[in-house]
Structure 1
Amino acid sequence: MGEEKKIKRRDYLKYTGAAIGGLAVGGALGYLAKPAEVVEKTVTAPAIITTTTLEKTVTKEVIPPKHFEGIKIHFNHGGHCPFGLTVKRGAEAATKDLGCSTEYFDADWVPETMVKQFKDSIAAKPDGIAVMGHPGYDGYADLFEKAYAAGIVVTIVNVDIPELRKKYGPNGCGYVGQELYASGYKVGEACFKYGLKEGDRAAVFSVWEMYPRNLRAMGAEDALKKGGAIVDRVTHPPEVYGDPLKGIPYVTGYYAAHPDVKCMVWDGGGTTAATIKFMEAIGAKPGQIINAGFDLSPPTVEAIEKGYLQVTLDQQPYLQGYLPILNLCLTIKYKMSGLYIDTGAALIDKETVSLVKPLVEMGIR
């Protein structure tokens, strides 16, 4: 009888263990198979199971509108050259930051094309227009009057037109660019630092008949003359700024007549960038002729590093894109008056070019 009880106890433990094991396996399978949003929790009280449903809350980030959304701008960035494209990048960055919309135009630096594009922009009736100032007062006076009569704010880039800026300044017309004559004078003065002497011959290349575009060349000419240099004016068509290789015949023709020239000043970013090409065309070695110019681009940096170009004045074209967009937005929305920003300051030479080279490669300087 004692053995019979022993067998029953063993069977009891066996069956109990099997039951517990089955519950454990079943519970595990149930946990793996259940939907993610349902959590089953077994409570210590016998035969009581509670089920809790977790609801997921999805939070959608609400992005507020940008400050100047809805404002439409037309922007002329001059040309499809390194300088013009840097201006455009600045305008694109401002457009993205401020929230306005901008349509871009380039005229290959031809004043007649700028005038036509200005007329087309007025007809399109944007809220604001940024124009390059190369056509001057005579080219733009009637169009400014027409634009403002239609409620369109206009501001000036790269070449100042003081008469129009002063007349329409309270209504938003500003200027972002170099003070042309002063920047030219600064470059002309710098040529003597790099070896030009009294009595040496120098040439200043420009579109001499195009006022006020030629103010920079006039400044360089006056500084060179004050230092005692003999100065020749060499003129070329405006198309040379957009396609500098078209300027080679003007360079070679001048050099053939004046092989004693010691210094050449280029008053455009495109022509400055072509310094190596120009010197190769006349067979001049690095440093044989003192070269000075304006603006920065990868070819200009290369010319400085190789010794062909002694100095250039950086007028920070990125700002000439960014700030006119800001000017227009502030005027259109808040009736602010026009901004006047002189962007030309730094002379860059072989000692300082390494500081700006990374920014030039990024298309910022």
Structure 2
Amino acid sequence: MSGPDDVSQTDLAATDSPNDTLILHPGRRGLLQGAALGGTLAMLGGMRNAMAAPDGPFPAHPKWRFVFVNHVTTNPFFTPTQYGMQDAAALLGCGTQWTGSVTSDVGQMVSSMNSAIAAKASAIAVSIIDPHAFNDPVQRALEAGIPVFSYNADAPTGSGNKRLAYIGQDLYQAGVKMGERIVSMIDSGPVALFIATPGQLNIQPRLDGASDVIKKSGKAITIDVVATGATVNEEISKVKSYYLGHQHVKGMFAVDGGTTEGIAETMDQYDLASKGVHGGGFDLLPRTLELIKKGAMDFTIDQQPYIQGFYTVVEMFTFLASGGLVGPADVNTGLKFVTKENVDPYLTTSTRYEGKSSQAQIVPHSGLIAG
């Protein structure tokens, strides 16, 4: 897969202007509303000013640097997120940095946040995968005048985390929708729910939502919860091992992208769809889509990772440009079931929006727009 490099503690070149003193701004006006945070521009002292194009919508501003702290920096799911981050930053004349952990190590992520605070980042976006570990660095960033947003995973209500807004899928409701799909296909018997890293807030709420729906359905469905690990190869191996030891299973479903690919591979290898076994999960890894088209698996769920990067940068920019008067606001990046009936456009186009191409392009739309 062609994609952006994983970069730690350096700016991504794709968002760097060839001339730091001349940046064009064909950007859009801020659309978000929310609470202001005073003093957010205090950390900008000493930065070189940029010069806006005469017809641009924004005046000259520093080349703000937005730091994204991620939990699985090399996972292919986040390739389109990085493209969205880069594209919005290039549009608005800003720089970005992609850092964090490869293996969902919370300590490494907190260390990356501390480094961003010490380096006086203009704004920080963090995937809050732990309910409490990020409270202190978020608070310290805000006290230093650095706005903090969460993306992809959010702190639970009541956790005390003071991040300004969340940009990502409503994870529990996504799990609810998957659970409803499961009980519509299966009447009884064992169902496996796979999760890469149990307890982490980017995926645990989905498992909780699906489990709640299944339990409340009244159907004689039993649930096995299976942990698979943080890397795609590990996840695929765990799914195959589970099936070989539980060949009476009626359905296998995952709440993360790598494990979803593992389910698709396993169902294809053992021709499980023809045996009445159902399967599904999340995200748009190419092999998952190919096997849905083949009929090996029922569905996957698109959470639009590109806009998790793009919209987060827009919120950061509008917050800084307005001195905190505009934004922040929570953004639900949505849910879409991808099945054999609607998978073709995902397979016939290769774009930055789904992470399959690094090329910037406008993709013509064909057919009706679903309401």
Match of 1:244 among 232, 244, 264: 232
**2:304 corresponding residue in structure 1:** 316
**Residue 178 in structure 1 maps to residue 169 in structure 2:** yes
Query: Contact 1:187–1:312 (CA<8 Å) still a contact in 2?
Result: no
Match of 2:93 among 73, 80, 99: 99
Match of 1:349 among 318, 339, 353: 339
**Residue 117 in structure 1 maps to residue 109 in structure 2:** no
Q: How does 1:251-270 map to 2 (within 5 A)?
A: 251-270=239-258
> By percentage of residues, which structure has more helix?
1
What is the CA–CA distance in structure 1 between the aligned matches of 2:347 and 2:282, rounded to whole Å?
Answer: 15
What is the CA–CA distance in structure 2 between the aligned matches of 1:166 and 1:316, rounded to whole Å?
Answer: 28
CA displacement, residues 159-194 of structure 1 (integer Å, 9 cap, x when unaligned): 12144898646xxx111111111001101211244x
**2:34 corresponding residue in structure 1:** none
- State the shift of 1:128 in Å: 0.3
Residues 111/164 of structure 1: CA separation in 2 closer, same or farther (3 Å cut): farther
**Residue 235 in structure 1 maps to residue 261 in structure 2:** no
**2:318 corresponding residue in structure 1:** 330
**Residue 299 in structure 1 maps to residue 287 in structure 2:** yes
**1:274 corresponding residue in structure 2:** 262
**DSSP-derived class of the 1:200 partner:** strand
Query: RMSD across aligned C-alpha pairs, in angstroms?
Result: 2.4
What is the CA–CA distance in structure 1 between the aligned matches of 2:288 and 2:240, rounded to whole Å?
Answer: 20
**2:358 corresponding residue in structure 1:** none
Residues 212/355 of structure 1: CA separation in 2 closer, same or farther (3 Å cut): closer
What is the CA–CA distance in structure 2 between the aligned matches of 1:166 and 1:337, rounded to whole Å?
Answer: 20
CA displacement, residues 259-296 of structure 1 (integer Å, 9 cap, x when unaligned): 21111111112222333333366x34445431111111
What is the CA–CA distance in structure 2 between the aligned matches of 1:314 and 1:346, rounded to whole Å?
Answer: 5
Residues 324/271 of structure 1: CA separation in 2 closer, same or farther (3 Å cut): same
What is the CA–CA distance in structure 1 between the aligned matches of 2:165 and 2:93, rounded to whole Å?
Answer: 21
Query: Contact 2:73–2:98 (CA<8 Å) still a contact in 1?
Result: no
CA displacement, residues 103-124 of structure 1 (integer Å, 9 cap, x when unaligned): 1225225142322222221221
**DSSP-derived class of the 2:131 partner:** helix
Q: How does 1:209-228 map to 2 (within 5 A)?
A: 209-211=199-201, 213-227=203-217, 228=219
**1:143 corresponding residue in structure 2:** 137
Residues 192/167 of structure 1: CA separation in 2 closer, same or farther (3 Å cut): closer
Q: How does 1:15-164 map to 2 (within 5 A)?
A: 63-64=53-54, 67=58, 69-77=62-70, 78-112=72-106, 113-134=108-129, 136-163=130-157
Residues 313/90 of structure 1: CA separation in 2 closer, same or farther (3 Å cut): same
Query: Contact 1:304–1:353 (CA<8 Å) still a contact in 2?
Result: yes
Query: Contact 1:286–1:306 (CA<8 Å) still a contact in 2?
Result: no
**Residue 205 in structure 1 maps to residue 194 in structure 2:** yes
Match of 1:187 among 174, 178, 188: 178
What is the CA–CA distance in structure 2 between the aligned matches of 1:275 and 1:140, rounded to whole Å?
Answer: 32
Residues 111/263 of structure 1: CA separation in 2 closer, same or farther (3 Å cut): same
Residues 260/327 of structure 1: CA separation in 2 closer, same or farther (3 Å cut): same
**2:186 corresponding residue in structure 1:** 196
What is the CA–CA distance in structure 1 between the aligned matches of 2:256 and 2:103, rounded to whole Å?
Answer: 10
| Equivalent pairs, count | 292
Match of 1:364 among 344, 349, 353: 353
**DSSP-derived class of the 1:224 partner:** helix
**DSSP-derived class of the 1:138 partner:** coil
**DSSP-derived class of the 2:132 partner:** helix
What is the CA–CA distance in structure 2 between the aligned matches of 1:165 and 1:88, rounded to whole Å?
Answer: 28
Query: Contact 1:275–1:308 (CA<8 Å) still a contact in 2?
Result: no
- State the shift of 1:251 in Å: 2.1
- State the shift of 1:147 in Å: 0.7
Q: Structure 2 regions of 5+ residues with no counterpart?
A: 1-51, 355-371
- State the shift of 1:129 in Å: 0.6
What is the CA–CA distance in structure 1 between the aligned matches of 2:94 and 2:346, rounded to whole Å?
Answer: 30
Query: Contact 2:289–2:347 (CA<8 Å) still a contact in 1?
Result: yes
The percentage of aligned residue pairs carrying the same residue is 28
Query: Contact 1:80–1:106 (CA<8 Å) still a contact in 2?
Result: no
Structure with max Cα Rg = 1
- State the shift of 1:140 in Å: 0.2
**DSSP-derived class of the 1:251 partner:** helix
- Counterpart residue identity of residue 308, structure 1: A
Q: Bigger CA drift: 341-350 or 86-95?
A: 341-350
**DSSP-derived class of the 1:208 partner:** coil
Query: Contact 2:264–2:279 (CA<8 Å) still a contact in 1?
Result: no
Residues 165/208 of structure 1: CA separation in 2 closer, same or farther (3 Å cut): closer
